[in-house]
Amino acid sequence: MTALPAFAPPARDPARSFQDMILTLHDFWSAKGCLILQPYDMRMGAGTFHTATTLRALGPEAWNAAFVQPCRRPTDGRYGENPNRLQHYYQYQVILKPSPPDIQDLYLQSLAAIGIDPLAHDIRFVEDDWESPTLGAWGLGWEVWCDGMEVTQFTYFQQMGGFDCKPVSGELTYGLERLAMYLQGVDNVYDLVFSSPPASSGEAVGQQGLVTYGDVFLENERQMSKWNFEVAGTEGLFKAFAMAETECRNALAAGVPIAAYEQAVEASHIFNLLQARGVISVQERASYMGRVRDLARASCEAYASMMAPQWQARHPGWSLV
Amino acid sequence: MADFLLELLCEEIPARMQAGARAELERLFRRALEAAGVVPGDLAVWSTPRRLALIARALPLATEAVREEAKGPPEGAPDAAIEGFCRKQGVARDALELREVKGRKTWFAVIDRPGLPIAAVLAEAIPAIIRDFSWPKSMRWGAASLKPDSLRWVRPLSGIVALLDDEVVPCEVGGIVAGRTTLGHRFHAPGPITIARVGDYPAALRAAHVIVDHEERQSLIREGARAAAAAAGLTLVEDEGLVVENAGLTEWPVPLLGRFDPAFLEVPGEVIQLTARVNQKYFVCERPEGGLADAFVCVANIAARDPAVVVDGNRKVLAARLSDARFFWEQDQKTPLAEHARKLSRITFHEKLGTLADKVERVAKLARWLCEEGIVKADPDLAEQAARLAKADLVTEMVGEFPELQGLMGGYYAAKEGLPAEVAAAIRDHYKPVGQGDEVPTAAVTVAVSLADKLDTLKSFFAIDEKPTGSKDPFALRRAALGIIRLITENGLRMSVAEGELLDFFADRLKVQQREAGVRHDLIDAVFALGGEDDLVRLLARVHALQDFIATEDGANLLAGYKRAANILKKEGFEAEGAEAAVAYTPEPAEQALIDALAVATPRAEAAVAAERFTEAMAALATLRAPIDRFFDEVTVNDPDASKRAARLALLARFRDAVHRVADFSRIEG
Chosen from A63, A157, A168, A179 to mutate, greatest number of chain B CBs within 10 A: A168
List, for residues B432-481, the tens digit of each pLDDT value.
Answer: 998 778 899 999 999 999 999 999 999 999 999 999 988 888 888 999 99
Task: Record the pTM.
Answer: 0.81
B351 confidence band (pLDDT: 50, 70, 90): confident
Instruction: Specify the amino acid at residue B377.
Output: K
CB-side neighbour CA atoms (13 Å) of A319? 4
Per-residue pLDDT, A282: 65
Q: Chains A, B: CB contacts under 8 A, how many?
A: 121
Q: Hey, which residues 592-651 in chain B have their CB within 8 Å of chain A?
A: none
At residue B579, does pLDDT exceed 60?
no
* Cα dist from B382 to B372, B386, B402, whole Å: 12, 6, 28
Kindly state the average pLDDT of the residues B562-571: 90
Per-residue pLDDT, B469: 87
Length of chain B as a residue count? 670
List, for residues B75-90, the tens digit of each pLDDT value.
Answer: 888 989 989 999 988 8
Query: CA B586, CA B369: separation in Å to the nearest integer?
Result: 59
Query: CA A130, CA A150: separation in Å to the nearest integer?
Result: 14
Per-residue pLDDT, B500: 85
Q: Say if A99 is an interface residue toward chain B (CB within 8 Å).
A: yes
A158 with B346: Cβ contact below 8 A: no
A147 with B314: Cβ contact below 8 A: yes
A122 with B249: Cβ contact below 8 A: no
B139 with A125: Cβ contact below 8 A: no
**Pick from A83, A120, A182: CB nearest B304:** A120
Q: Say if A187 is an interface residue toward chain B (CB within 8 Å).
A: yes
Query: CA A161, CA B502: separation in Å to the nearest integer?
Result: 47
Query: CA B231, CA B325: separation in Å to the nearest integer?
Result: 28
ipTM of the complex in this document: 0.94
At residue B38, does pLDDT exceed 80?
yes
- Please tell me the least confidently modeled range out of B12-26, B137-151, B186-200, B564-578: B564-578
List, for residues B183-223, the tens digit of each pLDDT value.
Answer: 999 999 999 999 999 999 999 999 999 999 999 999 999 99
User: Using a CB-CB distance cutoff of 8 angstroms, which residues of chain B are in contact with residue A165?
Assistant: 140, 145
Residues contacting residue B586 through CB under 8 Å, at least 6 positions apart: none
Q: How does the average pLDDT of chain A come out, rounded?
A: 93
Highest mean pLDDT range out of A191-205, B227-241, B318-332? B227-241
* Residue A318 distance to chain B (closest CA, Å): 7
Q: Among residues B64, B51, B43, B66, which one has the least CA distance to residue B21?
A: B51
* Inter-residue contact B659 to B621 (CB < 8 Å): yes
Query: CA A131, CA A59: separation in Å to the nearest integer?
Result: 19
A9 confidence band (pLDDT: 50, 70, 90): confident
Q: Say if B12 is an interface residue toward chain A (CB within 8 Å).
A: yes
* Cα dist from A243 to A138, A235, B237, whole Å: 28, 12, 56
Residues contacting residue B1 through CB under 8 Å, at least 6 positions apart: B58, B59, B60, B61
List, for residues B411-421, the tens digit of each pLDDT value.
Answer: 999 999 999 99
* Inter-residue contact B200 to B191 (CB < 8 Å): no
Q: Hey, which residues 241-300 in chain B have their CB within 8 Å of chain A?
A: 249, 280, 282, 298, 300
B145 with A124: Cβ contact below 8 A: no
**Pick from A146, A166, A170: CB nearest B146:** A166
List, for residues B259-272, the tens digit of each pLDDT value.
Answer: 999 999 999 999 99
B139 with A140: Cβ contact below 8 A: yes
Query: CA A33, CA A26: separation in Å to the nearest integer?
Result: 11
A140 with B137: Cβ contact below 8 A: yes
Query: CA B613, CA B596: separation in Å to the nearest integer?
Result: 23
